[in-house]
Structure 1
Amino acid sequence: MEGVTERGGDVGSGDRNGDTGGDTAFEAAFEQLCALVTAGGVVALSGAGISTESGIPDYRGPNGALRRHTPMTYQDFVGAPGARHRYWARSHAGWRQIADAVPNPGHHAVTRLEQAGAITGVVTQNVDGLHQRAGTVNVVDLHGSLSRVMCPDCGQYSSRRELDARLQAANPDIEVVGAPVNPDGDVTLSDSDVARFVMVGCAACGGDRLEPDVVFFGATVPRPRLAQAVALVEGARALLILGSSLAVMSGYRFVLRAAELGIPVAIVNRGPTRGDGRAAVRVDAPLGVVLPRLAAAVTGRPVPTSIG
C-alpha cells in the first residue's frame, strides 16, 4: 500500500547553517520527530549526509561529488583494461583520509539513541565504519566496508590496514596529502602517478585480483546482508532516514517497504529526497544540529556537539 503515511511536518533549514532558533515550523516538526523516536522501535537508514561533517563528501548533497567525479562501476573494475590498477592507485592515495576520519556529533547521537533503546538497529549505505567507531552496535553495512579486502581467488578476507602497510612499502613515493577525497575513498591522480603505482597480491595465495569489500555502483547487495536489513526494517515501529537522498533503489526500497507495511517514515536530510512524498515527518537541516538535540530530548542527557 503506497502512501499509507500522511505527509507531516516539512521543516526548512533556517539560514542553512544550522540556525533553526525561532523557526516555528522547525519546532513543530522536531516535536513530531521526538515523539516518533521516543516511542522506540526505530530503525535508522543512514546515508553519506551523516558523514559529511566528518570530512567525507557525499555524492548528491549540496556539495555532492557526482558533479565532478564519476564512481567506478563493478563492471569496469573487473573488466576494463587497467581499471583495477587505477582504482587501487587512487584508493591507496585517499583511503587513509577515510580511515582517519572520526565520528561526528550525529554518529554519537545515534549511538546514544541506541543505548537508550529508542533505535534498535542501523542500516547504513556508508562504507566508512563511523557508526561502529562511535559505538553503535547493531549496524548492517549495506554496501560493505572499506576496512576489509577480499581475494576472489582464495576467498580470504583481510584487513585494509594490513594491505595499506604493504602498499606503502611498495610505493614509498606515492603520497597525496590534502587532495580532495571522493566518497568512495579515492583521490584523483595523474596518469603518470597511476602508471608508476605498484600493486601487491593477496598475502594468502598471491592472487592479483584483490577487491575492496564494498558494493560497487552497478553491483548488487549480497542476499544475506539484504535479508538482514529488510528484516530489521520489517520489524521496526518506525523508519528514520538520516542523510540520504534515497536516489538509488538500494536505500529507497526500504521506504517503499515501510509504506507497504504502514510503518511511518521520518526523514532528516539536507535538501529534497526521493522519499519526501512518503514521509510523515521531514526535517531539512544539518544532522549535526538535529541529531544531538534529538538524542538529548529523548534521553534527557546532552550529546557533545563537537567532533571527537
Structure 2
Amino acid sequence: MRVSVPTIPDVLLRSASPAPSTSPAAAVERIASFLAPGNVAVITGAGASVDSAIRAYRGAKGRYLNPNYKPIFYHELMEPTAKGAAYRRRYWLRSYLGYPPVRDALPNTTHYGLAALQYRSIVNKLITQNVDGLHHKALAHVWDEPRMEERILELHGRLRSVRCAHGHLTDRDVFQDQLSAANPQWQAFVDELDAAGRQPRTNPDGDVVLEGVQYDDFVIPDCPACLMENRHNDIQKPEVIFFGESISKEVKDRSFADVESCDRLFLVGTTLATFSAFRLLKHAIELRKPVLLLNVGPTRADQVPQVEKIEIPSGAVLRDVVRAVLGSEASADPVVADMLQSGITKPPPEDEDDTVPRAVG
C-alpha cells in the first residue's frame, strides 16, 4: 500500500514569491469589511494554534519544519500483527509523553477573537483541522457542549478521546492514567522531566521527538469495554484521522454543508496542504463564494485567482478585527469584552533547522 504525505506541491513552492506587505491597520480594515455582512464559515489550521505554544508542521517557507518527516500511517497503527503492535508501542509511548502539553495548552488571541465572532453569530460555522480542542476551550464558559458540537466541526478529529478497534470510546485523560499505571518506569521519567522543568519537543498531534529509546517494553492497556465483553484488545488509537485513513462520510458531508450554508469563507492559519481542507475551498469557489485567506507563508491556494490572501499573523489583527466589526458592541457586551481581553501569546521557538527523523501520527 502506498500512501503519500499531504504537502504543498513543489511547483508552487518554487514559484512562490514574497507576498506584498500589508500593514496591520490595512489588514484589519479589509478583514473586517469581509466579515461584517455575517454568515461566515471559517476554516482554521495549525497556524491558528501557534501562539498557544503548539508548533505547526510547516514553517514560513511552506515546507515541513522537519525534512525527514515520517508519519505512522493508519494501516500500520491498526494492523493486528506483531508489526502493528510495534508501531502502536512506538506511537503510544511518544504520545504518552507529548499529549500533556497539548492537553494543557491555553487558547490564544486568535481562538478568542474567532470565539467572539462565533458568539455574536458573525461566524456561524467553524471547521478546524486542528485536534487540540482549543476552539472549544475558548467558548466553553459561554456555550454548552451540544452548542459547540453544532457550531464547531473538528475535521480531523480530536486528541481528547481514544477509540479501540471495536469502536469503544475512552476519555483520553482516563487512558493517560491507564498508560501511567501500566508503565511506572515512564511515569517516573515524566516526573523527572517535570521536576527539571523540561519537555521533549512536541508536535501538533501530541507526538514528541524521542531519540535512542527502545519501545519494546512499553505496555498498552486493553480496552476496558472489551474486557467487560471477555475480549482482550489493545488496538487503540486517538480519535484523530491518521494519514491513509478516510474522514467519515458524516464528517465529510457536514463539512460540505457548512460551506454551502455560508455566504463567504474565511481561512485562518492554514496552508491547505491536506486535500480534506483544499476540497472545501474548491467547493466554495464552485459555489461562487467570496474567499479570504489569512496565513503567513506559501499555501496551496496561492495560484487560485478566486482567493484573496493577506499575509500577516492572525494573532496580530483578529482582536482589532472583532472591534471593527462589532463597533461599540465589542465593549458593551461583557462576554465579548472579556474574550477580547483573553488569550495567551506564547509562540514556540523557531526551529526551521529541526532535522531529527521521527515518526508521528
| Smaller-chain TM-score bracket | 0.7 to 0.9
Give the 3-state SS of the residue equivalent to 1:205 in structure 2. helix
2:106 maps to 1:108:
no
Q: Are 1:144 and 2:169 counterparts? A: no
Deviations 1:170-195 (A, max 9, x none): 22232254110012111133454422
Q: Distance in 2 between the 1:245 and 1:40 partners?
A: 24
CA distance in 1, matches of 2:316, 2:276: 26
Distance 1:41 1:163 in 2: 39
In the aligned structure 2, how far is the partner of 1:278 from the partner of 1:42? 20
Structure 2 counterpart of 1:17: none
Match of 2:320 among 290, 293, 302: 293
Query: Structure 1 residue aligned with 2:182, among 170, 173, 176?
Result: 170
* Alpha-carbon distance between aligned partners in 1 of 2:73 and 2:219, rounded to the nearest angstrom: 22
**Residues in 2 aligned to 1:62 and 1:173: alpha-carbon distance in whole angstroms:** 39
Of 57-66 and 221-230, the range deviating more from structure 2: 57-66
Letter in 2 for 1:47: G
SS at match of 2:127: strand
TM-score by length of 1: 0.87
Does residue 1:85 correspond to 2:97, yes or no? Answer: no
| Offset, 1:290 | 1.9
Task: Report what 2:209 is aligned to.
Answer: 188
Structure 2: any 5+ residue segments left out of the alignment? Answer: 1-16, 141-147, 228-232, 331-336, 346-361
Deviation at 1:253, TM superposition (A): 0.4
Q: What is the TM-score with the length of structure 2 in the denominator?
A: 0.75
Q: Give the CA deviation at 1:43.
A: 0.3
Number of residue pairs matched by the alignment: 289
- The one-character-per-residue Cα deviations of 1:198-248 (angstroms, maximum 9, x if unpaired) are 211101113111111110012111110111111000111000001100112
1:28 to 1:84, Cα distance in 2 relative to 1, 3 A: same
**In 1: Cα distance, 2:341 partner to 2:293 partner:** 22
Preserved contact between residue 43 and residue 122 of structure 1 (Cα < 8 Å): yes
Query: For the residues of structure 2 that align with 1:298 and 1:151, how far apart are their CA atoms?
Result: 45
Three-state SS of the structure 2 residue aligned to 1:253 is: helix
Q: Distance in 2 between matches of 1:88 and 1:193?
A: 13
The percentage of counterpart residues that share the same residue type is: 34
Structure 1 Cα separation of the partners of residues 95 and 75 of structure 2: 17
Q: Aligned pair in 2 of structure 1 residues 13, 144: CA closer, same or farther (>3 Å)?
A: farther
Where does the alignment leave 5 or more consecutive residues of structure 1 unmatched? 1-9, 15-19
Residues 28-61 of structure 1, C-alpha deviations (whole Å, 9 max, x = no match):
4542321110100100000000001111111123
